[in-house]
Structure 1
């Protein structure tokens, strides 16, 4: 499902309000309740929204949004984040890059860097960076998830633990106000934890939607990262946690 501007705005309003009635959504968007119901029905089928008694809200945090839909969400923001990350990645360094649509944008932004050594469990990242003749790409072994071409499992973790890199670049599904980082798949979380352990610096890339989402599995805490790259200022409660943890925040508005 490709969201039109009205549907993207509808989704943004629900994420801001957590739950909201159809009538309130219609007023907010300047459309009829019938239009809102049609949009909500389609977005519910795509697992973007859920209908509850008395209103519309976010779906259960057990499953992530379909990968193809995530690729189109906040794509401009992800590209801006990726460009800022690439600007700060020095040539000649070593990287660990995990699964995610934002980390894939980072890979695209690195295609002209010189003398990079990249270890990844993301087939998409490997494919993108293999077009860079000045980049050595090392692909982790393990089980390939067909839905997003990520590689997970114990073999993946064992492989990653062979390396110690300059920078680990990770994406995430959810950042809670207390600084907890969460994702949906325990296997993916374990790989990301290994990347954090094997990186001298950890850079987190996350668009503003991650501040409003919920996910099931704890991955880490922001005190375990060094830099956060995002496209909007984090909520104040999270900002305080980031300041206390001495995390450098780059907002590419």
Structure 2
């Protein structure tokens, strides 16, 4: 089998089965494990898969730059945002992560909702400037331009001084085995710092993030209160997560 044919075959397996186990593929094709791993490295370098121990998973489309991500599945994100807004109670304090789904959430907050919003995203804070009853606190630090959020030691230290009733986090990948992931280690650390300061943490995940993975893990499943998604209940990933006890909030 030519290299181009192997590439197409691997991408087909990734689409149909949702993952690649290098050892199994090597046996199917009569290749060495090293040959398959080399092919996976090349695909990963092109952003076509996310390598994990023993194989690969679908790469998340949410690792693109911020402007590009705003154009990805806006209707799906709006559904998730609307469902998440319903969790915010009058008088409560909520931490809003950065990202395009949380931006949709900020814009979806009812005008008469009296609440306190804490965020490390200048974009989220700006979106809420005109909100008549939401009090907004912006956490400072070095701006990570890819996601338009403050990250790094100063931002983490600022997060450690707050507390909230609810934290709503975005991720780039949701997978039963790879977990809840994102594409940058500092951003992952900031998300953990925010979640640690809240009584409840929910993950916002539009359909395109379900079954995908990025490089850095954010939180283990047992540390979240639920997953808000518009992915259908029959989605194999959603079914598996529900069977393992994850609270799925349908958007």
Structures share fold, TM-score greater than 0.5? yes
Q: Which whole-Å CA distance do the structure 1 matches of 2:241 and 2:83 have between them?
A: 23
Contact 1:91 1:115 (8 Å CA) reproduced? yes
1:79 is paired with a residue of what secondary structure? Answer: helix
Q: 1:219 deviation in Å? A: 1.1
- 5 Å-filtered alignment, 1:15-54, equals 16-17=15-16
* 2:106 aligned with 1:99: no
* 2:133 aligned with 1:134: yes
2:166 is paired with a residue of what secondary structure? Answer: strand
Contact 2:227 2:249 (8 Å CA) reproduced? yes
1:240 is paired with a residue of what secondary structure? Answer: helix
Number of the residue aligned with 1:240: 240
Contact 2:168 2:203 (8 Å CA) reproduced? yes
1:76 is paired with a residue of what secondary structure? Answer: helix
Deviations 1:145-174 (A, max 9, x none): 234321111111111111110000000011
Number of the residue aligned with 2:143: 144
C-alpha spacing 1:48/1:93, structure 2 compared with 1 (3 Å): same
Unmatched segments (≥5 aa) in structure 2: 1-11, 20-42, 50-55
Q: Which whole-Å CA distance do the structure 2 matches of 1:145 and 1:196 have between them?
A: 19
C-alpha spacing 1:176/1:135, structure 2 compared with 1 (3 Å): same
C-alpha spacing 1:205/1:238, structure 2 compared with 1 (3 Å): same
Q: 1:49 deviation in Å? A: 5.2
2:63 is paired with a residue of what secondary structure? Answer: coil
* 2:209 aligned with 1:213: no
C-alpha spacing 1:241/1:138, structure 2 compared with 1 (3 Å): same
Number of the residue aligned with 2:53: none
Q: 1:128 deviation in Å? A: 0.7
Q: 1:243 deviation in Å? A: 4.1
1:72 is paired with a residue of what secondary structure? Answer: coil
What TM-score do the two structures reach when normalised by structure 1?
0.72
Unmatched segments (≥5 aa) in structure 1: 1-12, 20-43, 51-56
Number of the residue aligned with 1:68: 67
* 2:113 aligned with 1:114: yes
Q: Which whole-Å CA distance do the structure 1 matches of 2:64 and 2:14 have between them?
A: 14
Runs of 4+ in structure 1 deviating by more than 4 angstroms, as ranges, are 47-50, 57-61
Q: 1:209 deviation in Å? A: 1.1
Number of the residue aligned with 1:225: 224
Q: 1:14 deviation in Å? A: 9.8
Q: 1:180 deviation in Å? A: 0.9
C-alpha spacing 1:238/1:179, structure 2 compared with 1 (3 Å): farther
- The count of residues paired between Structure 1 and Structure 2 equals 206
Q: Which whole-Å CA distance do the structure 2 matches of 1:58 and 1:205 have between them?
A: 20
Contact 1:143 1:151 (8 Å CA) reproduced? yes
Q: 1:58 deviation in Å? A: 8.9
Q: 1:231 deviation in Å? A: 1.0
Q: 1:144 deviation in Å? A: 1.1
What TM-score do the two structures reach when normalised by structure 2?
0.73
Contact 2:66 2:148 (8 Å CA) reproduced? no
C-alpha spacing 1:48/1:105, structure 2 compared with 1 (3 Å): farther
